[in-house]
Structure 1
Amino acid sequence: MNTMDSEHYEITQFEEIDFPFHCFQISNLQTLPHWHNHTEIIYVRQGECTVYIDGIARIGHEGDLMLVPKGSLHSVLPRLPAEYLALVIGDTLFTSMLRDVHCEAALGSSLLNGSLAPLHMTPAHAAYPELSNLIKNIIQEGTQKKEGYQLSIKVSLCQFCIFLMRHFPNSVKVIFDSRLQGAHVLLIKQALEYLALHYTEKVTIADMSLHVNLSGQHFCRLFKSYTGKTFTYYLTDLRLDHANRLLLTTDLPITRIPELTGFCNANYFSRIFKKRYGHVPSHVRKKLTPGTVKQAEPIRGVQ
């Protein structure tokens, strides 16, 4: 399986090719399970969020910071109301930083080989103010984009790496690569890829268990631990997300959308859609300007 071909493999669109950094600001929306070849920092600005990183659930409260290593399967489920930021740092940005001989000697293997370990830091930690100030500076510089902001972000990222070395030495060692953990991540990625291709069809737990060569009970337990949702709930969510995109980005008749997104009948689709979004499918079309459609939403910030 080539996980980079999966719909859940995120190809992050950076504003500047030579400066691969982006700050996603997300309010009251979930981020579906996905992975990418970048390091990510999640900052909970308000409320509470459950962050799943390779099968481990971490509950983040206001002010909490979490480090997501590259290649990790991760998702965010907010408890409304909530706001969080996702700082995505491209590999090539680290590469340019590591041209310095001292940076490369200290951090090169960890940053480029994906051997950072997940980290969850709360305001209760003695060193939190130091890290919080670094992250807030990165966010401010990335948002305001004043002259020299790229250099300022790079300096803060270097300080961030030094902070990890001094306060969390295990975060720059390979401590999260047990064979069992790695095998489970690959199986769930395989399952997500299968669902991305077959969500319009009838897919059962038995089908998925056979596909990943696990018992039904083991698959269900593993799937929920990695995504935060039961298999049935996740599949319904996936279908609803695609249905909402079709409503927003096409002029297809509403009566056709259920069959195109895997729902057995229109009445059930309308009922479950209203339960999820708070309004019936036709309401989405009424909000659009006649003759226009919106661009499809990215994988982040799914309602």
Structure 2
Amino acid sequence: MQNQASLQETKQHGAVRFPFNLYPCTIPGDFPQVALHWQESMELVFVKRGTGLVQVGAESCPARMGDIFIFTPGTLHALRQAEGQCMEYENIIFELELLGGAEDLCAEKYLLPLQSGRLSLPARLTPNDLCYLQAAACLREVEDANRAKLPGYELQVKGALLRFLALLLAQGRQRLAAETADTQRLKTLLQWLSAHYTEELRVADAAGVCSFSASHFMRWFRQMTGQSFVAFLNEYRLNAAAEALQATDETVLTIASRCGFENLSYFNRAFKAHFGTTPREYRKK
């Protein structure tokens, strides 16, 4: 499961010399959502069953069985539960350097521009897209090779991921990527939130980070994330608390206080409403 308490994810996926990993995930079975974040690696989400919601930048769309989402380095994204629904998906995360290094023509033309944001890919493939069957077959090959781990499986994984990227590039839907002022501002705010979520925060404090009035900030934040700032902050703190419950032996009271909750009774109620279980029961999972 990914570290949901970090808005810029820095977790090492796979081995240093083979930076690749695959995670089977379920929303809400494993967690109710993957909060808005970004990372410097490539991330693919292959929806296996059910439906959910995916946010890319400021845009949200339904995620349905068979859909493939492509998050290039630096792309803000989030995954959420659709009301009353469950979504199972494979999360494939790898560093672009896995596919080509220095003095490599492919790295120069494609991988480095993808890494730096000078080149982007379509954020979503559906079964209706022309290259879908071939692209999905590449990801299934990655899954099978990773599961079996036969001698040479690393070459299979690398080859299938290269073919997957080649298929996307061949569609001609890539474009020069340009991060907007709004997404840059949102990343700055999320970094600030990551550093200060344990403190008593007001809407005015967050608005000041963005140089907005409180009223303009509240409208802007909802437009960018689909949530109010207060609801987003509360979910962020709850996710941080859930991670601490599984990673430390600290008391529930200590964790609640450290994550910005001054009232233990309120924390317990909010936690159960969010995760469907009490903090103590969650710790035993």
TM score, norm. by length of structure 2: 0.86
Q: Which residue of 2 aligns with 1:299?
A: none
Tell whether the 8 Å contact from 1:255 to 1:266 is kept in structure 2 after alignment. Answer: yes
Partner of residue 38 from structure 1, selected from 10, 27, 41: 41
Tell whether the 8 Å contact from 1:52 to 1:226 is kept in structure 2 after alignment. Answer: no
Q: Which residue of 1 aligns with 2:155?
A: 151
Partner of residue 130 from structure 1, selected from 131, 134, 142: 134
Distance 2:251 2:104 in 1: 58
Q: Partner of 1:84: helix, strand, or coil?
A: strand
Distance 2:47 2:104 in 1: 32
Q: Partner of 1:170: helix, strand, or coil?
A: coil
Distance apart, 1:278 and its partner CA: 2.2
Query: Is residue 119 from structure 1 mapped to residue 130 from structure 2 by the alignment?
Result: no
Distance apart, 1:139 and its partner CA: 1.9
Q: 1:84 to 1:99 in 2, by over 3 A?
A: farther
Q: Which residue of 2 aligns with 1:209?
A: 207
The structure, 1 or 2, with the larger RCO (C-alpha pairs under 8 Å, 6+ apart) is 1
Tell whether the 8 Å contact from 1:44 to 1:64 is kept in structure 2 after alignment. Answer: yes
CA deviations over 1:85-135 (Å, ceiling 9, x no partner)? 221120311333x7554x356535533433213421111223321111111
CA deviations over 1:270-297 (Å, ceiling 9, x no partner)? 2212212223334345x37xxxxxxxxx
Q: Which residue of 1 aligns with 2:165?
A: 161
Q: Which residue of 1 aligns with 2:13?
A: 14
Partner of residue 93 from structure 2, selected from 82, 85, 88: 88
Q: 1:150 to 1:224 in 2, by over 3 A?
A: farther
CA deviations over 1:221-271 (Å, ceiling 9, x no partner)? 333344343211111112212223333344434334433222232221222
Distance 1:154 1:34 in 2: 26
Tell whether the 8 Å contact from 2:36 to 2:77 is kept in structure 1 after alignment. Answer: yes
Identify unmatched segments of 5+ residues in structure 1: 1-5, 289-303
Q: 1:142 to 1:204 in 2, by over 3 A?
A: same
Residue correspondences, number: 274
Q: 1:154 to 1:99 in 2, by over 3 A?
A: farther
Tell whether the 8 Å contact from 1:205 to 1:216 is kept in structure 2 after alignment. Answer: yes
One-letter identity of the residue aligned with 1:27: T
One-letter identity of the residue aligned with 2:146: G
Q: Which residue of 2 aligns with 1:300?
A: none
Q: Which residue of 1 aligns with 2:50?
A: 47
Distance apart, 1:52 and its partner CA: 1.4
CA deviations over 1:112-169 (Å, ceiling 9, x no partner)? 43321342111122332111111111122123222111111222122222212221x1
Tell whether the 8 Å contact from 1:138 to 1:153 is kept in structure 2 after alignment. Answer: yes
Structure 1 stretches of at least 4 aligned residues deviating more than 4 Å after TM superposition: none
Partner of residue 76 from structure 2, selected from 45, 58, 73: 73
Q: Give the % identical residues.
A: 27
Q: Which residue of 2 aligns with 1:261?
A: 259
